[in-house]
Amino acid sequence: WQNPDRPVADLGELGDRARAVLAGNDLGTMVTAAPDLYPHMWSWDAAFVASGLSTVDVPRALAEMSSLLAAQWHSGMIPHIVFSDAPGYFPGVDRWRTAGVSPEGVSSSGICQPPVHATLVRRIVERAAARGGQDAQAAEDFARSTVPQWIRWHEWLRSARAADGSGLVTVYHGWESGMDNSPRFDGPYSRVHPGELEPFQRTDTRIVEDASQRPSDEEYARYLWLVQQMADVRFDDARLPGAVDFQVKDVFMSAVLAAANEDLAVLAEDYGHGGEAAQLREWAAEFREGVDSTVDPETGLARDRDVLTGEWIGLPTIAGFAPLVSSTDPLLRARQSELIDGPDWTGDPRLAFPLPASTSTRYPELRPRQYWRGPVWPVMNWYLASALRRHGDEERYGRWREASLDQLMEGHFGEYYEPFTGEPLGSWDQSWTAAVALEWLD
């Protein structure tokens, strides 16, 4: 990778190349998450992609969000994958067995992903409003007509995944967290014992030839076992708690939801649904408090909780910084900001770029090349930095921006990066990496 065809000359060229990546992955009304590895639409990817696209083409960005919304289930759930017709990804729609459960004509998985959408819709709408003219009008029309659908999505998260009022969202699969094989899920997954599993053949390890960058076969068997358990109860929200061997209160997803509730409240007020704003703000407070309540006083990091054993999961992963997304407690924010600058995170002098990795680089079981067990994910860093900025931290935003742009200048738009060498890993030309490049440049 260091001898490429591709190092980028300057920021102007980086922007041109990022736009070309998105155009190259665009099927028309769906930008696939990656050209070969992920030839479909992923829920949270689509929101980042739309936000990046809105720096170039607002109507196209809105069309991306509309495609995703068109797959919303009657329950309100927005599925984590909307399948294109492309072959070659496993598990495909047949393995999910969602036909007859998902709405007529929708080809999707049966689980969800972190609800970053309302936050990014607000961003797109504000960007378009600042531009004025037809872009502003199109974004306003979009917001007016879709706010009710986003509210249904948040209502579903609250009622199907957090009805206990804990302010913490339950996930039934690591895939729902978006951080599939993070060490945070090792404990819960160690208690998942696949029974009789339909035979399967992975496709991801054919595309990412270095299998050590992807989850192991053992991990995959557990992933598929959970899919089978959910499909067996037809993804019925009421039956999942009695049927699924993996149930975790996901602190990062809860923080994302807290922030998104705030953003949706603003959109609701601005675009004709003000009556719902108070409810959304109540939920924002509930999830904000839920996240704050998980912080380990010793480490200063937020924790997940295994619902089935009641155990806290306090590993040093990026999810531990969930309060930086949602908290309004100044002491907590200060402590977390100091931590993230420290030697376990961006202050580790061995880093190629001073950016947080998915798992602390001092974690004894760090796997610096393996997916969510160590690599640096550009999309996460942009999301976290924009949350810092929104809470007034321009300084850290500026530092991370510079480091992130330096990281991306190698030109492959990697899915994730080796923390110490800066090598791009996983898929190249990953859409959300290109999208956040455009956001950093905007």
Q: Which residues bind ligand 9YW (CB under 6 A)?
A: 33, 38, 42, 44-45, 178, 180
> Using CB atoms, what's the residue nearest to ligand 9YW?
178
3-state secondary structure of 287: helix
Residue with tokens 């009695």: 242
Q: Which residues contact 148 (CB under 8 A, 6 or more apart)?
A: 273
Nearer to ligand 9YW, 42 or 150 (CB): 42
Nearer to ligand 9YW, 213 or 336 (CB): 213
Nearer to ligand 9YW, 265 or 425 (CB): 425
Catalytic residue among 180, 304, 429, 439: 180
Closest CA to 4 of 432, 414, 435: 414
The least distance separating ligand 9YW from the CB of residue 333, rounded to whole angstroms, comes to 26
Nearer to ligand 9YW, 33 or 255 (CB): 33
The least distance separating ligand 9YW from the CB of residue 370, rounded to whole angstroms, comes to 12
Report the DSSP beta bridge partners of residue 359: 317
The least distance separating ligand 9YW from the CB of residue 429, rounded to whole angstroms, comes to 12
Catalytic residue among 262, 276, 415, 429: 415
Looking only at Cα atoms, what is the longest distance across the chain?
58
The least distance separating ligand 9YW from the CB of residue 174, rounded to whole angstroms, comes to 9
The least distance separating ligand 9YW from the CB of residue 188, rounded to whole angstroms, comes to 16
415 is catalytic: yes
Nearer to ligand 9YW, 177 or 404 (CB): 177
CB of 11 within 8 A of CB of 408? no
Closest CA to 118 of 231, 244, 283: 283
* Cα–Cα distance for residue pair 244/229, rounded to 1 Å: 6
The least distance separating ligand 9YW from the CB of residue 43, rounded to whole angstroms, comes to 7
Nearer to ligand 9YW, 45 or 418 (CB): 45
Q: Is 371 exposed, middle or buried (0-12, 13-18, 19+ CB in 10 A)?
A: buried
Q: Rounded to whole angstroms, what are the CA distances from 102 to 75, 107, 109, 175?
A: 9, 7, 9, 18
Long-range contacts of 160-164 (CB under 8 A, 24+ apart): 160/75, 160/76, 160/77, 160/237, 162/254, 162/286, 162/287, 162/290
CB of 211 within 8 A of CB of 181? no
| Active site residues per annotation | 180, 415
